[in-house]
Structure 1
Amino acid sequence: MSGLAVLCLVFLPYALGHYLSCLLRTVNAVLAPQLVSAAGLTPGDLGLLTSAYFFAFALAQLPVGIALDRYGPRLVQFLMLLLAALGTLAFAGSGDFVQMLCARTLMGLGLAGCFMAAVKAISTWISPARLPSVQGYLIAAGGLGAASSTLPVRLFLQHADWRWLFILLAAACVIVGFLILLLAPTPPATPRKPFNLGVLAEVYRHPAFRETAALVLVPHTVFFGIQGLWIGRWLTDVGRLPEHSVAWLLYLGMAAVIFGAIAVGMVTEWAAKRGADAITVAGVGVALFVVVQCGFVMSYRPSFALLAVLFTLVGTITGIEYTIVAQAMPPALTGRASTCLNLLIFTGAFIVQAGFGQIVGLWTPDAAQHYPAAAYQAAFLVLVLVQLPGIAWFVWRRRSPARKPVESLL
């Protein structure tokens, strides 16, 4: 296929699916006041409701990964997007917390394969040397979706109810599903491995998979769990910013994901030409990401706006683990490799997003229902502490003379 054909028939249709997935994943950060008002949600309820998306993602990873390897991304993604449309439409008609929770879970199930299907498709039609940049563009498409869930959604709410927003997004899921079905090519047949625990164990035992997950997995769960909800609540409760200012900062932060994702791909390829492997780039980036989170722990008020943007900009480095894993695995296992990684990421993101709300809820809000800065400082401190062992282990491995370079494992 020509480069133009790959762009129009492979990258763009699947990128649109990833765009919708990220939009619906993060939209609650802006809609939180409306959802709290509609269903009387506590911080714990809000965290559980939003994180149900990640829980559904985790549940779907194994069956979706198997289906991608067996039936290909084209058919699987079409059917999943129809399911996502049903869940999104159900969310629009929800009237209480339980209904919202069930609808968002169904929504997450339907969108669980968007990124994996895209990775499976582009890794089939694009050379391994170009994967870091192209996957960076894919993550940037997701960043565009996340950015669309902020200021544009805020502007939409000035003219229509939030329920109409979900009705339109349900229609978008159907349209993108048919675009993939009608435009995307069927990938060439590859040797199939039957599903069993040995196949999954083969993925988890792979040295590159273990080393990548040990360093990047927890920061990735923190990025997903906090970006999609709690940055906005932190700006409201601790920064005391009005809703329009929060929406604007969230928009800048999500827009930064686009530039960050593209930059990660370019830096990774640049570093590879100079002898530095992708895991080294990941190690430096993760360390910077933890430093940014320390700013939240210190709660230095003049830097609130900067911290909110830096969190999403620097946090995009965590997406590099998909590139490392995709390059490390044979084509017949790329779907299941992404599945294993996503299973860990989305399970962790569910724990982070729900757990963060439980920690904040330990404090008593003021009359305006704002939670104190100490609540958020404690929650961010817990996140920093759980990420430090991975960085320490990576540094120790780098200093160990017995360590094999990652590039020899790929």
Structure 2
Amino acid sequence: MSLTQLRVFVLFSAGYFVSYVFRGVNLGFAPAITHELGLSAADLGVLTSLYFLGFAGAQIPAGVLLDHYGARRVTAVTMLFAALGIWVFGAAHGVGVMMLGRLLIGVGVSVCLGAAFKALAQHFEPARLPLMNGLVMAVGGFGGVMVGTPLTWILTFANWRAVCIGLGILTVLVSVAQWTLLPDAQQPRHQASIGTQFKGTLHILRSAAFWKIGSFSIVTQGVFYAMQSLWVGAWLRDVQGFAPREAASLVSVLGFAMMAGCVGFGAAARGLERRGVSLYAFCGIGMALFVITQLLIMFGAPLPAGLLWAGYGVFGGTGILSYAIMARHFPASMTGRVNTTLTLTIFVLIFGFQIGVGAVLSHWPANGGHYPAAAHLCAWGILVALQVVSGIWYVMPGRTRNQPVPAPVPQEN
């Protein structure tokens, strides 16, 4: 790996790490925020999910901007909105202003993952992308670790508002480092106009191959992140009876396991392809194992909790291989838009799933902030059913996933 490639990997990974911390920080803040503002499960679900709404809503313009202006410029500028958002969130004393803060955070970090994948595609050969994408996801996954035990420990001597100030400062530092230290990748000499590039995004959304390849991963990733960033903690406390510190430890185990899974599956994918196992099939197997792991957790399989939640983390990130599959089916000039369009669909589902779980839980009476096991099982059972349906679509025979998608032909005025 050259020095330039190393800088690209480290600084874009740092951006995604910050994005991941913001994604799950309400997992640690939830008890304090709920107590301070008197929120129900539905209220907490809506508040937390606004990050995903902002993130999803910015994906299409983000993809166009990435392909037009380059990853360095776009991600360094937009991260400043995330810093502003966390400061607004931390200073708020009402739910409305906190919602605005979460929305700004989501918009601000909306390009972090797409920018990283685009930059990697520009600086690394295609055969290395599953591993490099997995490494970026692993660094991001460490953000999932940080919102477990480390955040719980920090909150023993600092309140959640002080943590928000620190997160804003960290975000600004990463933004400045990206602007000053990252190289500018060579852009096409004759770029299409912004309007034409928006039409390219519609071309992606109309592509049967996009929906075929993304079907299973969109739903499994939606479930994984919706649960990991908010409802896993409630499940561990309400259903499995863990104390807050034990629950936080298992959240960190999940985060470490996801890091290992992203790297391990990314490395294994390249070796298995040489042995005739396609990336599409390997990705599908990993996602199927993720669904099985969820069923084992739901039905209380007689296995150590640490092992089950480690399995949840290891297999939960396998859907990320879909980004590498997409890169092989769409032209390089559309990489930014393909990545952000896939992320858009995933985050729309995360937004819906977080609200949906909260709404389902709120149909049962809470006892001291806890909901009965039946409520959690009902909510998660619906999520598993949706994953099974999408998995059936993923494995059904179809020619579109094996055919490269041509770039749209610009129309002359």
Common fold by TM > 0.5: yes
CA displacement, residues 30-88 of structure 1 (integer Å, 9 cap, x when unaligned): 22111111211100011111111100011111111111111111111111111111001
**1:193 aligned residue:** 192
**Percent identity between the aligned chains?**
32
**1:4 aligned residue:** 3
**1:141 aligned residue:** 139
Asked if the contact 1:38/1:95 (under 8 Å) is kept, the reply is no
CA displacement, residues 164-183 of structure 1 (integer Å, 9 cap, x when unaligned): 11101100110000100001
Mapped to 1, the partners of 2:219 and 2:150 lie a distance apart of 30
Mapped to 2, the partners of 1:314 and 1:182 lie a distance apart of 36
Asked if the contact 2:226/2:353 (under 8 Å) is kept, the reply is yes
CA displacement, residues 322-362 of structure 1 (integer Å, 9 cap, x when unaligned): 11112322221111111211111110110011101111111
Paired AA for residue 158 in structure 2: A
Paired AA for residue 396 in structure 1: M
What SS does the aligned partner of 2:183 have? coil
TM-score after normalising by structure 2: 0.93
Asked if the contact 2:60/2:201 (under 8 Å) is kept, the reply is no
Q: CA deviation at 1:303?
A: 5.0
What SS does the aligned partner of 2:93 have? coil
Paired AA for residue 11 in structure 1: F
**Cα 1:91/1:301, change in 2 over 3 Å:** farther
CA displacement, residues 145-179 of structure 1 (integer Å, 9 cap, x when unaligned): 11112111111111111111110110011000010
Q: CA deviation at 1:376?
A: 0.6
Count how many residue pairs are aligned between Structure 1 and Structure 2.
402
Mapped to 1, the partners of 2:298 and 2:150 lie a distance apart of 30
Mapped to 2, the partners of 1:262 and 1:122 lie a distance apart of 15
**Cα 1:369/1:189, change in 2 over 3 Å:** closer
Q: CA deviation at 1:198?
A: 3.8
**For 2:72, which of 59, 74, 78 is the aligned residue?**
74
Moved more, 319-328 or 255-264: 319-328
Mapped to 1, the partners of 2:396 and 2:312 lie a distance apart of 26
Paired AA for residue 178 in structure 1: V
The answer to whether structure 1 residue 320 and structure 2 residue 321 are counterparts is yes
What SS does the aligned partner of 2:186 have? coil
Paired AA for residue 359 in structure 1: V
Q: CA deviation at 1:408?
A: 5.2
Q: CA deviation at 1:406?
A: 4.6
**1:362 aligned residue:** 363
**Cα 1:363/1:155, change in 2 over 3 Å:** same
What SS does the aligned partner of 1:27 have? helix
Asked if the contact 2:4/2:183 (under 8 Å) is kept, the reply is no
Mapped to 2, the partners of 1:157 and 1:297 lie a distance apart of 30
CA displacement, residues 341-388 of structure 1 (integer Å, 9 cap, x when unaligned): 11111101100111011111111122x221110001101110111111
Asked if the contact 2:250/2:309 (under 8 Å) is kept, the reply is yes
TM-score after normalising by structure 1: 0.94
Equivalences for residues 332-343 of structure 1 within 5 A: 332-343=333-344
**2:260 aligned residue:** 259
The answer to whether structure 1 residue 180 and structure 2 residue 194 are counterparts is no
Q: CA deviation at 1:211?
A: 1.8
Mapped to 2, the partners of 1:303 and 1:48 lie a distance apart of 32
**Cα 1:375/1:303, change in 2 over 3 Å:** farther
The answer to whether structure 1 residue 119 and structure 2 residue 120 are counterparts is no
Mapped to 1, the partners of 2:134 and 2:214 lie a distance apart of 19
What SS does the aligned partner of 2:184 have? coil
**Cα 1:360/1:309, change in 2 over 3 Å:** farther
**Cα 1:407/1:3, change in 2 over 3 Å:** farther
What SS does the aligned partner of 1:370 have? coil
**1:400 aligned residue:** none
CA displacement, residues 12-41 of structure 1 (integer Å, 9 cap, x when unaligned): 111100000001101111221111112111
Structure 1 stretches lacking a partner, 5+ long: 398-402
**2:12 aligned residue:** 14
Q: CA deviation at 1:207?
A: 4.9
Structure 2 stretches lacking a partner, 5+ long: 406-413
Mapped to 2, the partners of 1:299 and 1:99 lie a distance apart of 40
Mapped to 2, the partners of 1:18 and 1:198 lie a distance apart of 27
Asked if the contact 1:299/1:377 (under 8 Å) is kept, the reply is no
Q: CA deviation at 1:299?
A: 4.2
Equivalences for residues 4-403 of structure 1 within 5 A: 4-8=3-7, 10-190=8-188, 191-194=190-193, 195-196=195-196, 198-300=199-301, 304-366=305-367, 368-397=368-397, 403=398
Paired AA for residue 320 in structure 2: G
